[in-house]
Amino acid sequence: MKIKVDQDMCIGCGMCLDICPEIFKLNSDDKSECIVDEIPEDLKDKAKESCEICPVDAISEE
């Protein structure tokens, strides 16, 4: 499982980082980006939760 954040859609609210700081961080443009290539098994539920909670649907699974 891979996660992608659409940089044009992200509004930098930080909700995904609150849920899963192991996967996301804010970059220099104050947008979230995924910092791991392959989501570890034990973080998949949190990654999916982040996808669902993003207010602008910027996070997608690949």
User: Would you tell me which residues interact with ligand SF4 (CB under 6 A)?
Assistant: 5, 10-16, 32, 54-56, 58-59
Cβ of residue 3: shortest distance to ligand SF4, in angstroms?
10
Q: Which is nearer to ligand SF4, 8 or 42 (CB)?
A: 8
What are the CB-based long-range contacts (under 8 Å, 24+) for 50-53? 50/3, 50/15, 50/16, 50/19, 50/20, 50/23, 50/24, 51/3, 53/15, 53/16, 53/19
Question: Considering beta carbons, is residue 15 or 43 the nearer one to ligand SF4?
Answer: 15
Closest to ligand SF4 by CB, 4 vs 40, is: 4
Token output for 41: 């098994």
